[in-house]
Amino acid sequence: MNTVRTTDEESTGARKVAVVTGAGSGIGRAVAVELLTVGWSVALAGRRPEPLAQTAAAAPAGGGTPLTVRADVSRPEDVAALFGAVRDRFGRLDLLFNNAGTFGPGGVPVEELPYEAWRHVVDTNLNGAFLCAQAAYRQMKEQDPQGGRIINNGSISAHTPRPHSVAYTATKHALTGLTKSLSLDGRPYGIAVGQIDIGNAATDMTAGMQTGALQANGETAPEPVMDVADVARTVRHMAELPLEANVQFATVLATAMPYVGRG
């Protein structure tokens, strides 16, 4: 794990501190830039340094303080080093946006899915989310003042699967259980835990949806998408609530996507 400090060692003062995993692209980048724009100090975590640097550069001058940290969330040693770097740099942690994830091989029927592919999705989406939440929980419990917030990225697949998405869907369903359990266990320590379930935000991952996505009836049909900035603003709203209030679950989706009812 490598860390790159992108600003001088000035005091962050009263700024809130966040960790955003999967911050090098898509939803993670949009959320990180949104928080930096309004003055948060943000640790940008991801596996590749170059996209993280691009995320840091996308934030406006005069905003919050970015810290880029190369980390693979499926590796316990990387997660420990990530949160150690945040503690050393900023002294506390107010928010974890547990966003890092992978869909895995697209369009592969369950009977053909290699175990290695299944394991990679589980290690990233579920084990990685647990490791980061555990590290954040420990820091939030021990810091003074005590407490903080964890927001898990659940996805619409935490409720309803797409065809040929068994690994992704299973992990996202499991994230709902993780969210509920963490939320319950965090109560005595002022740790609020919620989940945002996102449908068809316009990112590289959803680029093909406007030309055609496989539907439950076996047909391929285009699907509408929404601006990822709307997701980022929703996460920011959840993050800026006082710890006495919590959005337990939020669903943000393109209004006309085939999800509600019969599509």
Q: Which two structure tokens, joined as six digits, stand for 261?
A: 């009812």
Answer yes or no: 168 catalytic. yes
Which of 137, 168, 189, 259 is labelled catalytic? 168
Catalytic site positions: 168
